[in-house]
């Protein structure tokens, strides 16, 4: 059985999932945000843990929203993606300025969360958000295939 993840429950579950990863963490999101302001610290801790996992040899792939002329792109995306790229993550965006609106965290092609949560302060602290821990291997397999195709067709950041 799956698990509904409401509002501010998301970050704790996301942190636990990235800690469980043995080989690979795949993320798709519309918005990423790293900041040191008090409200952003919990989210910054998530990114710090993600970077720590990269340093431990875990492969991290990130697919995010980007438009080459920066229209309809969160200003925070560039800094967060450069930070992850500099740490060793493979960071990409969809071709033809296509919007990446999917929100996925996929761990070792065995566990997955999909839903409405972005990796942004408002999403994890203020907004009404719902995500879902996917329960069955077949759905996770399909999600993994979709992510892989989208990711490998995407442009490197």
pLDDT 10s digits, 64-91: 999 887 777 889 999 999 999 999 999 9
Does 14 score more than 90 pLDDT? yes
What CATH number does the domain containing 75 carry?
3.30.870.10
Residue 74 CA to residue 33 CA, distance in Å, equals: 9
Task: Please give the mean pLDDT across all residues of the chain.
Answer: 95
The structural domain count of the chain equals 1
Question: Per the structure block, which two tokens stand in for 135?
Answer: 């329960």
Mention every residue, 6+ apart, whose C-beta is less than 8 A from residue 108.
20, 21, 22, 23, 24
Q: How far is residue 58 from each of residues 38, 117, 128, 131, measured CA to CA in Å?
A: 29, 23, 31, 24
Residue-range definition of the domain harbouring residue 36:
3-156
User: Residue 48: pLDDT band by 50, 70, 90 thresholds?
Assistant: very high
Integer CA distances (angstroms), 148 to 10, 54, 117, 128, 142, in order? 23, 19, 20, 29, 10
State yes or no: pLDDT of 130 exceeds 90.
yes
Contact 74, 62 (CB under 8 A): no
Give the separation between CA 68 and CA 37, rounded to whole angstroms. Answer: 28
Kindly tell me if the per-residue pLDDT of 20 is higher than 80.
Answer: yes
User: Which pLDDT does position 71 carry in this prediction?
Assistant: 75
Q: What is the mean pLDDT of the segment spanning 129-154?
A: 97
What CA–CA distances, in Å, run from 71 to 33, 75, 84?
A: 17, 10, 22
Q: Is the pTM of this model over 0.85?
A: yes
SS3 133: strand
């Amino acid at each position: 059985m799956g698990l509904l993840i409401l509002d501010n429950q998301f970050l704790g579950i996301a942190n636990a999932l990235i800690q469980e990863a043995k080989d690979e963490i795949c993320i798709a999101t519309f918005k990423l945000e790293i900041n040191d302001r008090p409200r952003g610290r919990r989210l910054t801790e998530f990114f710090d843990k993600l970077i720590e996992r990269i340093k431990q040899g875990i492969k991290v792939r990130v697919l995010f929203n980007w438009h080459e002329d920066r229209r309809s792109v969160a200003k925070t995306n560039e800094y967060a993606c450069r930070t992850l790229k500099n740490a060793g993550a493979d960071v990409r965006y969809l071709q033809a300025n296509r919007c990446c609106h999917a929100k996925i965290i996929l761990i070792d092609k065995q566990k997955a969360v999909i839903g409405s949560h972005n990796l942004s302060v408002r999403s994890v602290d203020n907004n009404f958000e719902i995500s879902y821990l996917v329960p069955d291997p077949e759905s996770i397999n399909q999600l993994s295939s979709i992510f892989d195709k989208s990711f490998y067709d995407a442009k490197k950041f």
